[in-house]
Amino acid sequence: MRFLWLPRRNWLLYPRFHFGDYPCIIFGVNATKSLVVVVETKDAGDKFAMTATRPIPFEARSGDYLAVLLRRLAATFDRDGRGVNSTIALLKCSSGRFGSCLKAIKGEAISELVAFQKGLRVFKVPPQSLKRTLGWAADQKWRDRASELFNPDGNRRNWSKSAAGAAVVALKVAAELFSSPG
């Protein structure tokens, strides 16, 4: 629903009512046992572009190390938050017998905490749902397909399997946000 009665000169002072009105930054986040990868993407509805990949190494030995991670993530999420819609797309840690380690779960929790503190929306995406996002051959893995789409030449800085996961999660959330009605 659009509200046209808002004065356009002061548009930063008012909440957004429609995603298509303003550019959107989606931070794709993937936590592993030793780092949190943040992929910054910009999406204006019809274009999806990765602008930066930031691996943030951390150790989960004590609260001091996690506080450092918290500060670094807060600085990363603040970096480009100048008057645009920012959203966090978080790749959930797997659970169960072959699940993620405790350190990765701590990294995911700190990422979610920072997003909450900054007032950003968080979309948690399970890794099982990524298979439908990219569309590929039955024998191909989603990380390989993500590398083909987002890093075809192999020249992207800081590219890794973790960055592939963060990029795919951001793409999935962007597709869901912009395909849903106003």
How would you classify residue 96: left for phi > 0, otherwise alpha for psi between -120 and 50, otherwise beta?
A: left
Specify the higher pLDDT residue, 59 or 5.
59
pLDDT at 84: 62
Taking CA atoms, 142 is separated from 38, 79, 165, 167, in Å, by 18, 29, 9, 11
pLDDT at 182: 52
Q: What does the pLDDT look like over 27-41, one tens digit per residue?
A: 999 998 889 999 988
Specify the higher pLDDT residue, 23 or 9.
23
pLDDT at 147: 79
Specify the higher pLDDT residue, 3 or 125.
125
pLDDT at 45: 56
Q: Which CATH number fits domain 21-179: 3.30.420.10, 3.90.79.10, 3.90.226.10, 3.20.20.70?
A: 3.30.420.10
pLDDT at 79: 60
Q: Is the pLDDT of residue 15 over 50?
A: no
Residue extents of the structural domains in the chain: 21-179
Q: Where are the beta strands (DSSP E) in 19-119?
A: 24-31, 35-43, 48-57, 85-91
Specify the higher pLDDT residue, 74 or 46.
74
Q: What does the pLDDT look like over 63-90, one tens digit per residue?
A: 888 899 999 999 888 865 555 668 899 9
Q: What does the pLDDT look like over 107-153, one tens digit per residue?
A: 899 999 999 988 888 999 988 777 776 666 667 777 777 778 787 78
Dihedral of CA 67/71/74/76: which sign?
negative
Q: What does the pLDDT look like over 61-70, one tens digit per residue?
A: 778 888 999 9
pLDDT at 148: 80
